Amino acid sequence: MTRLSVWTVRTALLYLGLGFLLGALMLLQKGLPLDPGLLRLLPLHVEFVLLGWTLQLAMGIAFWILPRFSQEPRYGSLRLGWSAYLLLNVGVLCAGTGQWLGISPAVFLLGRLAELLACLCFVLHAWPRVKPTGG
Amino acid sequence: MPRLTRYFIKTALLYLALALVLGLLLAARAAFDLPAEFAAFSPVFFHVLMVGWAAQLIFGMLFWMLPKYSKEQPRGNEPLAWSAYILINVGLVLRIIGEPMNTVQAEWNLGWLLVVSAVLQLIGGWAFILTAWSRVKER
Ligand code: HEM
């Protein structure tokens, strides 16, 4: 497993943990009303579990497991991979907290833009690695 | 394929089928003007699909495919991984029963089902994260 995969998969696991925590707090509130404000965590929960966990895990595993090249750089462009990782996490944090706290819509927009750029970097990284093994 | 992986994946496949049935019910409600109570299944539908199917399938595959923890304990802390499987599934089943009932029949006071469900799923999720964490490493 490359260092990039270790970071990406571990960050995905952290988001899974946080996403489950937020979900559990909301479910708790639905069963035993404590503070209606807990339900406002919904957009943060959705952002964390769908993009922070599911998408990020898929990216991390792809960095690891897609066919490598027989010559260096064997994992393709790691710069694109790291950019995808950084942009995705800036995006998830901005889009998630932007919606949750209801701060300026520009933060939410910036988050979505970072997520889009992350996906572009990921596609550019993965595209040449989707190939027959070897070569 | 380890036994726990088979359990995770086969359970995930059952949830996939259930999710599609729930999705059909939700679509039928709109199409045939069925009682509004059917909409109470909407969050259950999402979570049967995303926790029951997607996350559980991923957990099964990770337990199988992640780098080995050690020669003696290739899959890391197996009892912890089994407890994750049990907690997540008991928790999710309680949610499937409790969430629509709590919405439709609030006077039955079934909110405690959701509280137990939330705690079980949370501990189960975190237990899986703990077992997976130490296996995510450079070789
Ligand atoms: C990978 C796992 C998960 C995914 C992908 C996921 C996804 C979602 C999505 C998309 C929604 C929005 C649904 C809507 O707008 O109607 C949602 C809402 C919610 N989720 Fe999750 N979720 C996950 C895990 C969990 C867990 C483990 C819990 C509880 C322990 C939970 C509790 C909730 C609650 C209480 C809501 C609000 C439901 C409502 O609108 O009443 N989620 N989740």
Atom 22 (ligand 1): residue with closest C-alpha? B47
pLDDT for B45: 98
Tell me the three state secondary structure of residue A66. coil
B4 close to B78: Cβ distance less than 8 angstroms: yes
pLDDT for A70: 93
* Per-residue tokens: A92: 């998830």
Of B54, B95, B139, the CB nearest to A27: B95
**Interface ipTM:** 0.96
Looking at the structure of chain B, the number of domains it has is 1
B30: in domain = yes
Q: Give the distance (Å) from ligand 1 centre to CA of residue B50.
A: 8
B139: in domain = no
pLDDT for B37: 85
| Residue B31 buriedness (CB in 10 A; 0-12 / 13-18 / 19+) | exposed
- Tracing tokens 């969050």 back to the chain, one arrives at B43
B13: in domain = yes
| A contact test, residue of B48, B51, B53, B58 with most A CBs within 10 A | B58
* Per-residue tokens: A10: 């571990």
Q: Is the pLDDT of residue A24 over 90?
A: yes
The region of weakest confidence among A24-28, A96-100, A125-129, B103-107 is B103-107
The overall longest dimension of chain B from CA atoms, in Å, is 59
B138: in domain = no
Ligand 1 in reach of A20 Cβ (< 6 A): yes
Tell me the per-residue pLDDT of B10-26, one tens digit each, with 9 for 90 and over.
Answer: 999 999 999 999 999 99
Instruction: Collect all residues of chain A within an 8 Å Cβ-Cβ radius of residue B138.
Output: 1-3, 6
What is the length of chain A? 135
A3 Cβ contact partners less than 8 Å away, ≥ 6 residues apart: B138
C-beta atoms of B129 and A17 within 8 A: yes
**Scanning every residue of chain A, which has its alpha carbon at the shortest distance from the alpha carbon of B124?**
A20
Mean pLDDT for all residues in chain A: 97
* Per-residue tokens: B110: 């079934």
Q: Give the distance (Å) from ligand 1 centre to CA of residue A47.
A: 10
Tell me the per-residue pLDDT of B35-74, one tens digit each, with 9 for 90 and over.
Answer: 888 888 999 999 999 999 999 999 999 999 999 999 999 9
Main-chain phi, psi angles of A73, to 5 degrees? -75, 120
B124: in domain = yes
B52 close to B15: Cβ distance less than 8 angstroms: yes
Number of H helices, E strands in chain A: 5, 0
- Give the dihedral of Cα atoms B83, B85, B88, B93; nearest 10 deg: -120
B22: in domain = yes
Tell me the per-residue pLDDT of A53-92, one tens digit each, with 9 for 90 and over.
Answer: 999 999 999 999 999 999 999 999 999 999 999 999 999 9
**Scanning every residue of chain B, which has its alpha carbon at the shortest distance from the alpha carbon of A21?**
B122
Domain limits for position B83: 3-133
Nearest to A126 by CA among A87, A92, A77: A77
User: CA triplet A100, B110, A49: central angle to 5 degrees?
Assistant: 30
Tell me the C-alpha distance between B26 and B31, whole Å: 9
Amino acid at B33: D
pLDDT for B30: 86
pTM recorded for the entire structure: 0.96
- Give the dihedral of Cα atoms B111, B117, B118, B119; nearest 10 deg: 110
